[in-house]
Amino acid sequence: MNMDAVTGYVFHPDDLTVEKRKPGISAFMRIRNGEDFLEAAIRSHIDCFDEIVAVHNQSTDGTVDILMRLAGEYGPKIKLFHYTDRVYPPGSAEHAREPANSPNSLVNYYNFALSRTTRTIVTKLDDDHLAMPARMRALADRVRADPSILDKSMACFSGVNLARTETGKLGLPASDLLCGNGDHWFFRISDETWFERDRRFEKLRHSGLRRRFYGFAYWHLKYLKPGSGFANYELDRNPGSRYARRLERIGNSPLVELPAARDLLRPGMREWMSAQLGDKGRLLYQRAVSFENAFPQGSVEQALDATSPGWRNYLAEATS
């Protein structure tokens, strides 16, 4: 299995080759030193999509070995690339000033990964997402069977953040229970859908497509990584980064079980009012409302058993 190396790439919308795409779903990954849960992410999602385009950037850990091994196992369903240019991390001063079409820009890196997908529908897959396979597969099958639901909207889905106590017990960080705030989706690719620069991070240009919430589909394992998953943000060089503040909040956050999480997420009048003002507020409200029925179990481990039966293969040391 080959891994193509790309240097000096500059995105142009024509690279999306919209007219040549095949029906189906492509997932694209951007990876830097993702060895902790990369295999879990790919194996738990591989049956949901028609292809996974995995692009790593200057990885120095076991990422490449994992990608090559899985590509050898799954064949052409996994496509591998090495984006060799240094990419400035989100939250850094370099990112804030770098043009979107620079090879050093996070935006350009995202657009390269997007441009290497070959299917009409695309989704983003992170290297620390453990699928809830039945839920993800049902959502993928739904948009694959009826792409018209993507005519005027993106099919958004969310995940649940996992963390662990010093003794290894799994819980949810009270200060950051959920992820996927409208930035994980299925959308139909077009000449108007690509990533644009924001001073803080990248953002998807989506030509007025509205966000629609379609459920919970993965467990987010970021906070189970060493350093709570913030190594790639280079916080020693960017102490004023918004992600440095986020890391501090996570470090000070108590962990809660599902009953307490349901109480914390139950929406009130303020959330209802926000839902009336825009589609992102509506998505967050719908997400909060649906959490209780999505996870009625008494513990995080019971919910993992119910939604991701093979989780212990990847998170054994995180069990109580």
Query: What string of pLDDT tens digits covers the 320 residues of the chain?
Result: 789 999 999 999 999 999 999 999 999 999 999 999 999 999 999 999 999 999 999 999 999 999 999 999 999 999 999 999 999 999 999 999 999 999 999 999 999 999 999 999 999 999 999 999 999 999 999 999 999 999 999 999 999 999 998 888 999 999 999 999 889 999 999 999 999 988 788 889 887 899 999 999 999 999 999 999 999 998 988 888 989 999 999 989 999 999 999 999 999 888 888 889 888 899 999 999 999 999 999 999 999 999 999 999 998 643 33
Q: Which pLDDT value is given to residue 253? A: 93
Q: How far apart, in Å, are the Cα atoms of 298 and each of 165, 171, 287, 305, 312?
A: 18, 12, 19, 12, 18
**pTM of this prediction?**
0.95
Q: Which pLDDT value is given to residue 298? A: 95
First to last CA, the chain: 39
Q: Which pLDDT value is given to residue 319? A: 39
E strands present in 112-183:
119-124, 129-131, 153-161, 163-164, 170-173, 178-179
The helix (H) or strand (E) run that includes residue 83 is strand 78-83
Spatial distance between the Cα atoms of 62 and 64, rounded to a whole number of angstroms: 6
Spatial distance between the Cα atoms of 227 and 2, rounded to a whole number of angstroms: 32
Q: How far apart, in Å, are the Cα atoms of 103 and each of 63, 195, 202, 207?
A: 21, 14, 14, 24
3-state secondary structure of 121: strand
Residue type, 287: R
CA-based nearest residue to 91, from 222, 243, 195: 243
Cα of 271 vs its chain's centroid, Å: 24
Q: Are strands 119-124 and 22-31 parallel, antiparallel or unpaired?
A: parallel
Q: Which DSSP string corresponds to 217-243?
A: EEEE-GGGSGGGG-GGG-TTT-TT-HH
Q: Which pLDDT value is given to residue 318? A: 39
The helix (H) or strand (E) run that includes residue 185 is strand 185-188
* Burial of 290 from C-beta contacts in 10 A (0-12 / 13-18 / 19+): middle
Half-sphere exposure of 98 (CA within 13 A, CB side): 25
